[in-house]
Amino acid sequence: MKKRMKFLLIVVVVVVLALFMTACGSNSGSTSKNTTIRVGTKDFTENLVVGELYALALEGAGYKVERVSNIAGSVIHTSLVSNKIDLYPEYTGTGLLAVLKMKLLISPDDVYQTVKDEYEKQFKITWLQYSKANDSAGLFIRTEVSKKFGIITISDLQKHASELRFASQGEFDQREDGIPALKKVYGDFNWKSSKVYDNGLKYEVLKNNEADVSPAYTTEGQLVNTNEFTLLEDDKHVWPPYNLAPVIRDNVLAAHPDIADVINKVSATLNTKTLTALNAKVDVDKKEYEKVAKEYYELIK
């Protein structure tokens, strides 16, 4: 009888231990940080900085991170869908127009909700919370010229186009969301002259008084220099909002739901002014983007 009781006791202990180990294993499987999260980025400064912020935040939460940087914008969505990366920083306007090929929307909330719903339906991809940072297309002008003619909006610019020299990047003249979109909304822009320059030279071109107006993205670092350059208001809303937000594959988020809070905390700190300043540290001050991201992360973590 004693032997039988001893045997049963041993069995009970073994079963309890087994259940305990199984529970621990199950728990670690749902919150394990052993899985490497692959953070992708596009091949320009802003996306590299923000992607690095995501990576640092994930590492701060205990995750292993693989950085997959400098992916061409034309293929990064495919990289996410085809399981080559797990998440990356995207723009709501890009999702709406370039990926989904949908009609123009103006409200940031409407654009976000549309891409969020459609990405889930079509790709099993989740848009996390979008930031206030809006990296839209735009036009900038030499501040001296802005003051001379009283040009603060694109409507003002259109009225004075015949007095101004336009520095194009070539494709902007033909692209659907470039000059054709501007003409459709604002009317013709009969520039005094129009010449094509390399995109990387446009700020020097204007600074050297070789041109007066050029296309830009609204968070480009050089725009911090408001004494030299003035970003014009798109008062008739040619371009949709391009709010920055993380996009992540559903299966990754389901396995690691805490990632949402980790990354959303980063997004909540980013607005247009902040993002422009971060870009300026790289493009104007010539700091490494990893260092810029690290310094900023230390401030917000």
Parse the chain into domains and list their residue ranges: 33-134+242-300, 137-231
C-alpha to C-alpha distance for 118 and 103, rounded to whole angstroms:
13
C-alpha to C-alpha distance for 135 and 115, rounded to whole angstroms:
16
**Tokens 């914008």 sit on residue:** 73
- Pair type for strands 213-217 and 137-142: antiparallel
- Report the C-alpha dihedral over residues 188, 194, 198, 200, rounded to 10 degrees: -70
- Predicted confidence at residue 86, as pLDDT, reads 98
Nearest to 179 by CA among 192, 189, 194: 189
Q: Would you say the CATH fold of 137-231 matches that of 33-134+242-300?
A: yes
- Consecutive 10-residue runs of the chain (301 residues): their mean pLDDT? 50 43 41 83 96 98 97 96 98 94 92 98 98 94 98 97 93 80 94 92 96 95 96 93 97 98 98 96 96 97 91
- Predicted confidence at residue 125, as pLDDT, reads 98
- Report the C-alpha dihedral over residues 104, 105, 111, 117, rounded to 10 degrees: -70
- Predicted confidence at residue 21, as pLDDT, reads 43
105 phi and psi, to 5 degrees? Answer: -125, 150
CATH number listed for the domain at residues 137-231 = 3.40.190.120
- Predicted confidence at residue 17, as pLDDT, reads 45
C-alpha to C-alpha distance for 243 and 232, rounded to whole angstroms:
18
Q: How would you label 100-133 residue by residue, b for 16+ Cβ within 10 Å and e otherwise?
A: eeeeebeebeebbebbbebbeeebebbbbbbbbb
- Predicted confidence at residue 35, as pLDDT, reads 86
Domain 33-134+242-300 in CATH 1.10.260.40? The answer is: no
- Predicted confidence at residue 6, as pLDDT, reads 53
